[in-house]
């Protein structure tokens, strides 16, 4: 018998609901909040309010698109953290009330584990292979940068991570310095395609082990741009493609240097990318080269499943459903990464 899971995601600035049948997506609706663009970043209080406005229509649309009646649902999975507490409370409270009223199990999902498990989602009539445990996963998003050895669906060992900014944050802050809109990652990616990545060199932090640091890169980029603007007020406009290509190159080089180190240290056959920054075309190309060079199988989520979405919450819920791993209405949302 099929398992139908409704997934709800509201950890940051996307309100999303999805319905899956086992691991196959039936619907995945995402309402992105435009209200933050003019502030150059997410404003927590505005995010919570927008989630409140969006949550009912988004869930309703997800059920309709999936052609599923709420009484057919096997369970409801929701993001319980990490994220903005006010935002998490909207999704988690709704999930609790709905599961309680339907008298079906409630499943809490960790947002970062869900990014990884997005690689197990299937699209209708497009079957694709899935990674085999143990695999190495680079999770790169707006709030997190993690190197994980994934031994099982919920056994993810942190072997490295950022000691300051996340990779997505580095993209977003660099974009802000260049006067580009938020979120800056996709914009930098677009400009970089027509730029020379070797035109400007930015120092990459050398942190011991498998850890990352991006705050120095951001500062050196800020000073570099500021100094050039003093000599030429049109410096950004005249060099936007090369500036984007060069900063993107530095971020990717930092990510892939540690990935190579991790590949050598672990005994994983499969290499997996996850999170919003895994949409970056330069990073996808670099990972493809790496996998070829080190004879690994590479798994990349499809572009629509890299950034925040509820299908990844639903599929994590599915694997927990199979284990009977449920929570009560007293589950408390958390804001920070949980130690693995």
Q: What residue ranges bind ligand KG4 (CB under 6 A)? A: 12, 141-143, 168, 171-172, 183-186, 189, 275-277, 279-280, 307-308
**Binding segment toward Zn ion, per CB under 5 A, in 123-131, 137-145, 156-164, 194-202:** 137-145
CA 69 to each of CA 59, 62, 193, 310: distance values in angstroms, whole numbers, following the listed order: 12, 10, 44, 18
The residue from 10, 108, 113, 141 that contacts Zn ion (CB under 5 A) is 141
State the minimum distance, in angstroms, from the CB of residue 75 to ligand KG4: 23
| Between 74 and 316, CB nearer to ligand KG4 | 316
308 binds Zn ion (CB under 5 A): yes
State the minimum distance, in angstroms, from the CB of residue 316 to ligand KG4: 14
Which partner in Zn ion, ligand KG4, none is near 239 (CB below 5 to 8 A by kind)?
Answer: none
Site string for Zn ion, 82-121 (x = CB under 5 A): ----------------------------------------
| Between 13 and 242, CB nearer to Zn ion | 13
| Between 104 and 114, CB nearer to Zn ion | 114
**Binding segment toward Zn ion, per CB under 5 A, in 50-58, 289-297, 307-315, 317-325:** 307-315
State the minimum distance, in angstroms, from the CB of residue 38 to Zn ion: 22
Token code pair at residue 107: 């499943």
DSSP code string of 135-198: EEEEEE-SS-EEEEEEEETTEEEEEEEBSSS-HHHHHHHHHHHTTPPSSHHHHHHHHHTTS-TT
Which partner in Zn ion, ligand KG4, none is near 131 (CB below 5 to 8 A by kind)?
Answer: none
Query: DSSP label at 203?
Result: P
Between helices 215-231 and 167-177, what is the axis angle to 10°? 10
Backbone phi and psi for residue 272, each to the nearest 5 degrees, phi listed first: -130, 140
State the minimum distance, in angstroms, from the CB of residue 179 to Zn ion: 25
Token code pair at residue 113: 């584990």
Site for Zn ion in 49-68 (CB under 5 A): none
State the minimum distance, in angstroms, from the CB of residue 49 to ligand KG4: 19
Which partner in ligand KG4, Zn ion, none is near 279 (CB below 5 to 8 A by kind)?
Answer: ligand KG4
* DSSP-derived 3-state class of residue 332: coil
Label the pairing between strands 75-81 and 135-140.
unpaired
| Between 270 and 308, CB nearer to Zn ion | 308
Which partner in ligand KG4, Zn ion, none is near 186 (CB below 5 to 8 A by kind)?
Answer: ligand KG4
Is the Cβ–Cβ distance between 329 and 106 less than 8 Å? yes
Q: Kindly calculate the radius of gyration of the chain based on its CA atoms and give it in whole angstroms.
A: 20
- Give 207: exposed, middle or buried? Use CB within 10 Å, 0-12, 13-18, 19+: middle
Which residues 6+ apart lie within 8 Å of 189 measured at CB?
244, 248, 279, 280, 281, 282
State the minimum distance, in angstroms, from the CB of residue 285 to Zn ion: 22
| Between 98 and 272, CB nearer to ligand KG4 | 272
State the minimum distance, in angstroms, from the CB of residue 109 to Zn ion: 12
Token code pair at residue 307: 């950034």
């Amino acid at each position: 018998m099929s398992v139908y899971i409704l997934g709800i995601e509201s950890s940051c600035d996307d309100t999303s609901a999805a319905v899956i049948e086992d691991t196959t997506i039936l619907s995945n609706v995402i309402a992105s909040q435009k209200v933050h663009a003019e502030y150059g970043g997410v404003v927590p209080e505005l995010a919570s309010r927008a989630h409140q406005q969006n949550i009912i229509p988004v869930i309703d649309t997800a059920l309709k698109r999936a052609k599923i009646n709420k009484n057919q649902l096997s369970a409801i999975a929701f993001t319980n953290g990490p994220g903005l507490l006010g935002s998490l409370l909207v999704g988690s409270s709704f999930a609790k009330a709905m599961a309680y009223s339907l008298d079906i199990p409630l499943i809490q999902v960790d947002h970062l584990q869900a990014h990884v498990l997005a690689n197990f989602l299937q699209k209708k009539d497009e079957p694709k292979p899935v990674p085999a445990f143990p695999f190495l996963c680079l999770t790169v998003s707006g709030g997190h940068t993690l190197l994980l050895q994934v031994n099982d669906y919920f056994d993810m060992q942190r072997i490295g991570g950022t000691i300051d900014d996340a990779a997505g944050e580095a993209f977003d802050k660099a974009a802000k310095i260049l006067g580009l809109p938020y979120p800056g990652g996709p914009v930098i990616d677009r400009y970089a395609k027509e730029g020379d990545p070797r035109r400007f060199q930015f120092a990459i932090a050398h942190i011991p082990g498998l850890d990352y640091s991006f705050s120095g890169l951001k500062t050196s980029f800020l000073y570099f741009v500021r100094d050039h603007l003093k000599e030429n007020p049109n410096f950004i406009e005249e060099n936007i493609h090369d500036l984007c290509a060069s900063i993107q190159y530095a971020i990717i080089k930092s990510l892939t240097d540690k990935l190579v180190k991790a590949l050598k240290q672990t005994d994983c056959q499969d290499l997996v990318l996850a999170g919003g920054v895994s949409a970056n075309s330069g990073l996808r190309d670099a990972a493809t080269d790496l996998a070829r060079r080190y004879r690994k199988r590479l798994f990349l989520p499809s572009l629509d499943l890299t950034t925040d979405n509820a299908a990844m919450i639903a599929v994590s819920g599915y694997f927990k459903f199979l284990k009977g791993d449920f929570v009560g209405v007293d589950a408390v949302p958390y804001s920070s990464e949980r130690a693995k």
